[in-house]
Structure formats: structure tokens, C-alpha cells
Amino acid sequence: MKLNESQRSASRGFFEFVFFRHVRRSERRLTVDFCPTDLIYVIWLFFVVAAWNWNVWLIPVRWAFPYQTSENIHLWLLADYTCDLIYIIDILVFQPRLQFVRGGDIVCNKKDMREHYMTTERFKMDIISLFPLEVFYYFTGVNSLLRFPRLLKVRSFLCFVHNLCPVAVLVILMLFLFLYVRVIRTSMYLLYSLHINACLFYWGSDYEGLGSTKWVYNGKGNAYIRCYYFAVKTLITIGGLPDPTTVFEICFQLINYFVGVFAFSIMIGQMRDVVGAATAGENYYRACMDSTVKYMTSYNIPREVQNRIKTWYDYTWKSQGMLDEQELLIQLPTKMRLDIAVDVNYAIVSKVALFQGCDRQMVFDMLTRLKSVVYLPGDFVCKKGEIGREMYIIKQGEVQVVGGPDLQTVFVTIRAGSVFGEISLLAGGGGNRRTANVKAHGFANLFILDKKDLAEILVHYPESEKLLRKKAK
């Protein structure tokens, strides 16, 4: 389905809501308004989508199958008008209070939100969806096909699926739920295609006469289940069906086969894309691993080194879900990178004694320059006498300061939340050398801050620079 301009505009603004929503919370007006990713709005969309699904699934069933009778017609009408009431509440209460982006600003003004909604194509479709064709019940009786405008509320279903994933980021697991939503959505398209075909088959059987030929439904057993079974065998081209005998049956079956092949190929393509998206990251990891192994093999790298590199790939992927965090974040604007860095790393860095008392903004600037690196058990992070060009903050794991003739004597163990290597960066003069040997004890995930990056930051914070140099002495 192609998106029109209003949908594309809403999609662009959608991500701005996710990142800047917390900025607007303090500025909320007394009038109630909703962000598209607010949990309460997504919950409301669930009820709207439930009402839409009632119509989209049961309108064809009630038209084709004899399930709507004079004895239960009042129950069907009660459910119909309950769904209509949900539609009306959505149009009058929720949609006119939905925030939107205009010129980069999130608009929360009640009048502006109402006027914006009334100018959108969605408003027109919502109004048409409530067109009261039920007045023709007086002439035709209660015919569910007269409720077909209710299906035009499909935008609510698309918005619900679109908005569900960012809420899932905050509630469950982002990647897996996102993929599950795509799988469920694709499966629903297939099930609905079979549902419509089952209704048409029963209508065709009733038109030809139930049980009049071997091809039509014979009227025995559960009508819907047996017609659905026919639809599955036809649309998925399983075969094994009785041969059609009349012209109507032959034409119906030919159309079924053509539609089945077309629909099934689309579903296969959709599922391929879903599986491809689910395994894209792992495929990238495997490709990097294979390229590295091929390179090491061609240059006859020692087997021990190869095994350590393979271990590094495996642990880094399992612990982080990616090989390079910077590669992911570099595509984002600076402000968004800072927001993510603060949420992910500030709790660790703020506890480091070296940075306590420093300008808070200086710490924020430093967060965006940190690089996460994994060291394997026994790997030397730095050696005594080396030129110091980085400082290290332990994010996870432990490192040990070692010495002695064989570098096996442990002087001290440094744990998560500690910093080392700062003396070489902060002491006066250039070309400062390391004063100790430090190696990883087990797997260690460290933040690395380059000397050049630190110098560029401290230029703007002279007071923090004095404090850091004083602590490093």
C-alpha cells in the first residue's frame, strides 16, 4: 500500500515524538492531548482496531453464512452499534487531541490540533466510514453489506501497528516484538484472504444449490470450517478437490487458482522479508567473521591468535548484539546521540570519582566520544613504558595491575566503575608513558577516551580541566 503525503509527513514526525517527547512533558497544557506513542493512546487504538476487526471479519460472514437469524439479530445489532460508538468517540475525543509536528515543533494547542485533524484525509475517511447506509434496512432487511463503509477505518489499524513498536521498546523487547508484530500482521493478511474466499465459496454453493454437485458445499457439518478448509486447499494450491462441472464452478475455480498463486507468492515474499530482517544483523556478523577468518588463513596467522579473534567476535556479538556501537549511532544527529549516550552510559560515568565535581555538560560531551571495546581474558590493555594516548573506564568486568618478572604478580584488581590511564593524559607535557601493566581478568568491556578528544572537550571547560589535572597528580 503506497503512503500519501499526509502519511509520509506523519511518519517523519513520528520519530521526532519518540526522541523529544520528554521535553514537552513539562510544558503540557491543562487540556488533555495525546502523543501518538503515549501508552493510553495506543491502548485506545486497540479498542478502535477491535471494533474495525469486528466489521472487517464478520460483515462477509453474516452476508454469506446463515448465522444471522431473527432470534439473535438484536445481539448482532448491539455489537454493531457498540463498534459505531467507539468510532464516534475516536472522532470526537481522541483524534482532535492528537499532537502533530509543524515546522519542527510539536503542536499541543487544542484548536490547532482539531483544525489539523479536520484537514487530513484521515478525517474524511473517518466521516465516510460512519455513513448511515443502515437506513436501507427498511427496504432490504438487516443486510451486513450495508455496513461496508466501516471498513474505511483501516487507518486506525495501520497506525496501531505502526505505533505499537516504539511503545514495545519501553515495555518489552524492541527487536523481537517488532518482528513478531510483522509476522502476525503478514499472517493476518493470509488468514483474511482465506476468510473472504470461504465466504465466497459458501455464497457460490448456495447459489448453485447446497449439495447439488460434488464440488459445492454439501450442507453437512460446520459450514464455516468446511468452507475454510476448501479455501485453504484452493488458495494455497494444495489440490485434491473435486472437479467443477458447471460453467459457474469452472470460472469460480479458475479465479481462485489465479488469485491463490498471486496471493501465495506475495505472502512468501513478505515472510522472506520478515525473516531477512530478523537475521540481517547476524548475517552481517557472520560475514565479518568469515572475512576475518579468510584473511587470517591467507596470511597464515597462528592458530592461537585466530581462536582468540574468533572468541572476541563471538563474545562481542553475544554481549552487545553488534560489533561496533559507533557504526549504529553515527547516523543520528548529535543531540540524539547525546540522549542515547546519557541514558545508556551516564549512570556508570557519573559514579567515577575522577569526574565528580566536574561540569555536568563536560561529562555529557565526553559521553559522545567514548568508544566501547571488549578485551578477552588475559589481554593486555596497556603495558608499562608505552606512550599513553587513551584513558579507560571499566564498564563491565575487571582488570588487574600486574608485575614481576613474568607479569603474573597481581598488585591490585580494578572493578567496574573505575578509571585508569588518566595520568598519561592529564599530566603536563607530552609523550607521557604508562606507569603500569594492566590486563583483563576475564572478559572486560571498557570505555576508551582518546587524548585528542579529551583535549578538545577540556578547551571549553577550563575549571574542569584544572580539577582533573589536580586529581591526576
> At residue 70, does pLDDT exceed 70?
yes
- pLDDT tens profile 399-417: 999 988 888 889 999 988 8
HSE, side-chain direction, 13 A CA sphere, residue 190: 19
Looking at residue 173, what is its pLDDT?
A: 43
How confident is residue 327, by pLDDT bands cut at 50, 70 and 90?
low
Looking at residue 133, what is its pLDDT?
A: 93
Looking at residue 26, what is its pLDDT?
A: 35
Q: CA–CA separation, 159 vs 161, rounded Å?
A: 5
Q: What is the mean pLDDT of residues 147-160?
A: 90
User: What percentage of the chain reaches a pLDDT higher than 90?
Assistant: 25
**What CATH number does residue 347 fall under?**
2.60.120.10
Q: Are residues 289 and 260 in the same domain?
A: yes
> At residue 2, does pLDDT exceed 60?
no
Looking at residue 55, what is its pLDDT?
A: 94
Looking at residue 325, what is its pLDDT?
A: 66
Q: What is the mean pLDDT of residues 69-96?
A: 94
Q: Tell me if residue 402 falls in helix, strand or coil.
A: strand
Range of lowest pLDDT (42-46, 131-135, 346-350, 385-389): 346-350
Amino acid at position 438, single letter: V
Position 5 in a domain: yes
Q: What is the mean pLDDT of residues 31-40?
A: 72
> At residue 7, does pLDDT exceed 60?
no
**What CATH number does residue 193 fall under?**
1.10.287
Distance of CA 129 to the CA centre of its chain: 30
Range of 338's domain?
A: 332-472
Position 325 in a domain: no
Position 316 in a domain: no
> At residue 15, does pLDDT exceed 50?
no
Q: CA–CA separation, 336 vs 371, rounded Å?
A: 17
Q: Which of 112-121, 369-378, 449-458 has the highest mean pLDDT?
A: 112-121
Residue 106 forms beta bridges with which residues?
A: 101
Instruction: Report the alpha-carbon angle 266-268-272, nearest 5.
Output: 115
For the entire predicted model, the pTM comes to 0.57
Q: Are residues 152 and 230 in the same domain?
A: no
Looking at residue 433, what is its pLDDT?
A: 80
Average pLDDT, the chain: 81
The helix (H) or strand (E) run that includes residue 331 is none
The helix (H) or strand (E) run that includes residue 450 is strand 437-450
- More confident: 10 or 303: 303
Position 315 in a domain: no
- Maximum alpha-carbon separation in the chain: 102
Contacts of 269 (CB under 8 A, 6+ apart): none
- pLDDT tens profile 176-232: 455 566 677 777 888 888 899 999 999 999 988 998 888 899 888 899 999 999 888
Contacts of 349 (CB under 8 A, 6+ apart): 355, 363, 366, 367, 370, 393, 447
- More confident: 174 or 100: 100
- pLDDT tens profile 109-152: 889 899 999 999 999 999 999 999 999 998 989 999 999 999 99
Point out the domain boundary residue: 153, 171, 189.
171
Residue 219 forms beta bridges with which residues?
A: none
Q: Are residues 23 and 161 in the same domain?
A: yes
How confident is residue 428, by pLDDT bands cut at 50, 70 and 90?
low
CA neighbor of 109 nearest in space, from 13, 23, 33, 37: 33
Position 258 in a domain: yes
Looking at residue 335, what is its pLDDT?
A: 76
Q: What is the mean pLDDT of residues 437-461?
A: 88
- More confident: 13 or 430: 430
Amino acid at position 121, single letter: E
Q: Are residues 51 and 128 in the same domain?
A: yes
> At residue 29, does pLDDT exceed 50?
no
Q: CA–CA separation, 130 vs 151, rounded Å?
A: 10
Position 209 in a domain: yes
Point out the domain boundary residue: 171, 193, 214.
171
Inter-residue contact 364 to 338 (CB < 8 Å): yes
Q: Are residues 230 and 340 in the same domain?
A: no
Query: Domains in the chain: how many in total?
Result: 3
Q: Are residues 192 and 166 in the same domain?
A: no
Inter-residue contact 393 to 352 (CB < 8 Å): yes
Q: CA–CA separation, 313 vs 209, rounded Å?
A: 67
Q: Are residues 116 and 239 in the same domain?
A: no
Q: Are residues 141 and 19 in the same domain?
A: yes
Q: Are residues 202 and 162 in the same domain?
A: no
- pLDDT tens profile 237-251: 676 788 888 999 899
Q: Which of 277-291, 307-321, 334-348, 383-397 has the highest mean pLDDT?
A: 383-397
Position 308 in a domain: no
CA neighbor of 82 nearest in space, from 102, 122, 55: 55
> At residue 25, does pLDDT exceed 70?
no
Position 317 in a domain: no
Q: CA–CA separation, 92 vs 69, rounded Å?
A: 33
Q: Are residues 242 and 359 in the same domain?
A: no
The Cα-based distances of 336 to 15, 144, 169, 172, 342 in angstroms read: 11, 50, 16, 22, 10
Looking at residue 59, what is its pLDDT?
A: 93
How confident is residue 10, by pLDDT bands cut at 50, 70 and 90?
very low
Q: Are residues 30 and 160 in the same domain?
A: yes
Point out the domain boundary residue: 301, 317, 349.
301
Q: Are residues 159 and 187 in the same domain?
A: no
- More confident: 45 or 349: 45
> At residue 313, does pLDDT exceed 60?
yes
Looking at residue 49, what is its pLDDT?
A: 93
CA neighbor of 325 nearest in space, from 374, 366, 381, 290: 374
